[in-house]
Structure 1
């Protein structure tokens, strides 16, 4: 690592002010940033830790039947506190990484980084979540803009994520055994006005919605409704030593069926 200064503001305003300084970078749980620093792929002069900001932590159900989660809330807390109202999300959070990762990693950090194989982007896009920052509110459909790319501006902090609670939901992940990231992950959420299906880990463009499956499942919410669908085009999928694009495309359909069956 290179030398850097570390500050731990206790409020969002203090954090925003610190991030306004030259070469300052936010630090959430550090599960992505710290390894990057160790490899000397990033060289910030100042890290602004968000771990001491109490107003960015916690999980609560809102009056409009959504789950509001502070951007600094770790995965273990989401897994525990979302279980009663949103078991599909709790299941997702409980299977991210290992206990050490779940105790440090945060939902805001995951969404800000937007790793193409991360789990939370599928939940956010699959529920039509709203990402709240210190400046504005961003709909999930507008937030994700490609691999590692988001609508966040320089110095903008995710303060809260608000996910509408579905009638039924489930997340199925085919893990890459070494990293426990999703080789492919599918989040399915059923609402009164239709079904949303979001896929992570598969596409070169990052997390995406499988619209054909959404239409079929909105008419018939059963695993069999997916049988007649063509799999997404493998040419647009990630192809690496862990699996070809065609293999990932095949997994999208398999995991969608499993998620629907588990949610029904």
Structure 2
């Protein structure tokens, strides 16, 4: 199917982008890598009057350090995140989760910020961003503001982005010396996660000093597995500790029921995958 006709603009600055969105009103759409939007346009599930392309805005690309944080531009591709040495050193969980995103073609075109702004609960980067307490910097006509990941994801394909705002960058605290793993379960290679678990841990000696665990596709938004974290912290990094903690992975979750799995099966997967993810992260 051919998309409905629309006007197209490709600004070169964030300010010009915000003005273009303001001029176009609510019928405008932003395109980043296009991996989610283009299929929707082709099926005419969306018919914007104007498409605003972020691809020419240089300031939205790249990874840099800012004190105790990494700053990842919203238009940085998955491929670039996968291979960036700063991400590998200070936010290993993001690199490991990005490794599982779709296929190499999509990772070369799809963008870090685009995935987060799309807010698909089965997307692989939402739970890691939540687990790592990332902050989203967004920009609109009223200027820039910072939104914590816990407040950014608000529902199915819904974020805290207001009309006329774009995601500019993501600020992630450094987790230098932490170890991480992303455990994903899907029916076929390169498919969306039926359930996945993002785990990052810091071990001192034989003890788990800190732990962060996020769940993918266990609700309409990514979920922080607080019960698992509580059971891990301060305890020995053993198989017994991990097994007891993983039993709490599904606490407080509301997984969807669809053609892939019912809610109880997803809860079972969350417990199993949490055990695997934490075990891989601590090397137990």
Q: TM-score range by the shorter chain?
A: over 0.9
Alignment of structure 1 residues 108-147 onto 2, 5 Å: 108-134=113-139, 135-147=144-156
Structure 1 unaligned runs (5+)?
Answer: none
Where does residue 39 of structure 2 map in the other structure? 35
Check whether the contact 2:101–2:190 (CA below 8 A) recurs between aligned residues: no
The yes-or-no answer on 1:25 pairing with 2:29 is yes
Q: Does 1:257 align with 2:275?
A: yes
Q: CA deviation at 1:182?
A: 1.0
SS of residue matched to 1:9: coil
- CA distance in 1 between partners of 2:253 and 2:64 (Å): 41
Residue in structure 2 matched with residue 165 of structure 1 by the alignment:
174
For the 8 Å contact 2:73–2:170, the answer to whether it is kept is yes
Alpha-carbon separation, structure 2, partners of 1:31 and 1:230: 35
Show CA shifts across 1:192-238 (max 9, x none): 973221111222x2211111101112233555324233452698211
For residue 13 of structure 2, what is the aligned residue in structure 1? 11
2:48 corresponding residue in structure 1: 44
What is the aligned partner in structure 1 of residue 215 from structure 2? 199
Structure 2 unpaired stretches of 5+: 204-208
Task: Tell me the distance in 2 between the aligned counterparts of 1:223 and 1:124.
Answer: 26
1:227 paired with 2:230, answer no
Moved over 4 A (4+): none
Q: Residue 149 and residue 176 in structure 1: after superposition, are their counterparts in 2 closer, same or farther (change >3 A)? A: farther
CA deviation after TM superposition for structure 1 residue 84, in Å: 4.0
Match of 1:101 among 83, 99, 106: 106
Question: How many Å separate the matches in 1 of 2:74 and 2:172?
Answer: 12
1:238-257 superposed matches below 5 A: 238-257=256-275
TM-score, reference length from structure 2: 0.86
Per mean C-alpha deviation after superposition, the further-off stretch among 206-215 and 232-241 is 232-241
Q: Name the CA distance, whole Å, in 2 between partners of 1:172 and 1:213.
A: 15
Q: Max radius of gyration: which structure?
A: 2
Aligned length: 262
